[in-house]
Every structure is written in C-alpha cells, then in structure tokens.
Structure 1
Amino acid sequence: MADDLQSRRAVFASVGAGGLALAISACSGGTDTTTAGTATESAAPESAAATAGTSQSGAPQAGGALAKTADIPVGGGTLFKDQKIVVTQPTAGEFKAFSAVCTHKGCPIGSVEGDAIVCPCHNSKFAIADGAVTAGPAEKPLPAQEIKVEGDQIMLA
C-alpha cells in the first residue's frame, strides 16, 4: 500500500512539474516585428534598452527614452508590453500614446494592425489616431498616455 501511495505521489509530482514548465513557457513572450503600417510588439526595443533613464526592472521611468521615432511605423504603432503602452504614428511626425489595457475587460492589447489597436480577448479595436473604439464590444476609448518627443527620442512624460 505504501508503494502505491509513493507511486501516485510521483505521478502527481511529475504532472505538476510538467504543467508548470508548460505554463512558464507559454507566458514567456518574445518580440514580434512586422512591416511598416503594422505593429511592432516589443518589451523594450534595442534603442530604448541602450538608453539611460531605465529602472532596474528595465522599464523606462518618466523622462526615460521609450523608443526612437524610427521605431514607430507611420500609419501604425508599436506595443510596449512591459510598460503597458501603445505608441502610434497616425501621420508622419505625429506621435500618440495610449494605455495597452483594453477598456472592455482589462485584457492586454495584443497588437497594432494597420490603423487599429487590437485586443485579442474579444476583438475590440481602437483607432491609432485617438484611441476611439472602432469595433466593440469595448465602449470606452483607450486612455491617452503622456509622452514627449525630443529629437529622435520618444520619452514617457
């Protein structure tokens, strides 16, 4: 009987460890990059990582560089998952920033596709120009976030 109990415990421990490994690998993101006019998804682009003004966690602090203007495609945007912010460039030289948390159910924004900021949970879409809802079920726009552009650097305000 004791051998059966130990065998069952070993099976449960193995299954638990395997499930944990699967969950960890599923949660670890990468960097997806697509062409101009669509999203670049990034935890922190190389240009920002090499710039002063980042905290020990790697997230830019207010005043720290988030990206270079060249990192944000015209007519599209870039998602910064770690900072929970989406930076867009609706027209050349015009930069906007919005929360990367959907106003419908609080899901993280998944991508920028052309002129739409897209939430993968329920397919809500928001305009890159002003964060307005273009497709529901979300009913409220994405809140604007403060950024400033100095030279070729985009910084959190």
Structure 2
Amino acid sequence: MNREETVTSRRSLLAGVGAVGAVTVLAACGSDDPAGSGSATGQNPDPTEEPADGGNEPGGGGEVIGKVSDVPVGGGAIFAASEMVVTQPTEGQFHGFRGVCTHQGCPIASVAGGTINCSCHGSKFALDSGEPRNGPATRPLAAREVTVKGDDIVLA
C-alpha cells in the first residue's frame, strides 16, 4: 500500500466516524428516552420505572420524604435527596412522583403555575396525575405512593 492510499483510508475512516457521531447526537435530541443508558451516572435508564434494586436507593419504602408544611395546597415541593416530587392539588390530598422527567431523564426543576415543570425542554405535568400537559414529554411521571404520618410525608 502506498502513502497516498493510506492517507485516503485514514481520511475516509475519520469522515465515517464523524458522520456516525453526528447522527447519534441528533437522534438523542428527538427521543422520549433518557439520554444514554444511565449506567455512567447511576440513573435508572427508564425514568418512568422504579429503580431495579427495589427501592434500596434514596426514596426506598418507609422513608420520611419531608414535612406536610413543605407542600403548599395547589402546588408541590421537590425533595431532591429522595428524587421525589410531592404535590397537594387540594388540601389533604398528596401525590408522589419520581422527580425525573420522562422525556430525557432531566431532574424536575420546579412546581409552579399549577404544574410540575422540567426546565430542560419545557415539559409540564399535572399535579394530580403526573400526566404530561405540555411536551415534549409524552409519558406521565412515575407515581410513587406517599402517606401522611403526623406531620411527615412518608414513602409507602
């Protein structure tokens, strides 16, 4: 093989690798799946499912998530340490959700304006059901059962 053939082969290889990389990046931006497999970050690959370890990570059953006083009526609160969002659409009615957007796995950023909000791509979810109210997310937030024990909100 002469030098010119070697250079051409290297150029072709590099151009092909660049094209594959560009296609991969573009494909990831248009999906409802979380970015990547989650293995490098320890995140659950499907943000709509419970952790595969049965809840042995933060947010496991029986854990006190926060105080009732932390969750305003008609709104909600984010409990990042437990990867949870707890809402109270009407007085005394509490709902728990996994605090990860179902579009691409971004953490939920706020509960405001009557919805649960992801700041990454603008998805908004209903306070009472976690159903998407504004895309790009098309799947609801994963429900997590919570109960009230005294002044505490507890993951059931």
State whether TM-score is above 0.5. Answer: yes
> Could you tell me how far apart the structure 1 residues matched to 2:80 and 2:63 are?
16
Moved >6 Å (runs of 4+):
none
Taking structure 1 as the reference length, the TM-score comes to 0.60
Name the residue aligned to 1:131.
Answer: 130
Aligned to 1:141: 140
Tell me the equivalent position of 1:151. Answer: 150
- Report the 3-state secondary structure (helix = DSSP H, G, I; strand = E; otherwise coil) of the residue aligned with 2:85: strand
Between the aligned partners of 1:152 and 1:60, the Cα distance in structure 2 is 18
> Aligned equivalents of 2:148 and 2:98: distance in 1?
18
| Deviation per residue, 1:31-51 (Å, 9 max, x gap) | xxxxxxxxxxxxxxxxxxxxx
Q: Give the CA RMSD over aligned residues.
A: 1.6
How many aligned positions are there? 100
Distance 1:60 1:131, change over 3 A: closer
Rg comparison, structure with higher value: 2
For 1:106 and 1:127, the matched residues in 2 are separated by 17
What's the secondary structure of 2:139's corresponding residue?
A: coil
Q: Distance in 2 between matches of 1:68 and 1:60?
A: 15
Q: Cα offset for 1:60?
A: 6.1
Distance 1:141 1:60, change over 3 A: closer
Unaligned runs of 5+ in 2: 1-56
**What is the TM-score with the length of structure 2 in the denominator?**
0.60
- Taking only the aligned residue pairs, the percentage that are identical comes to 51
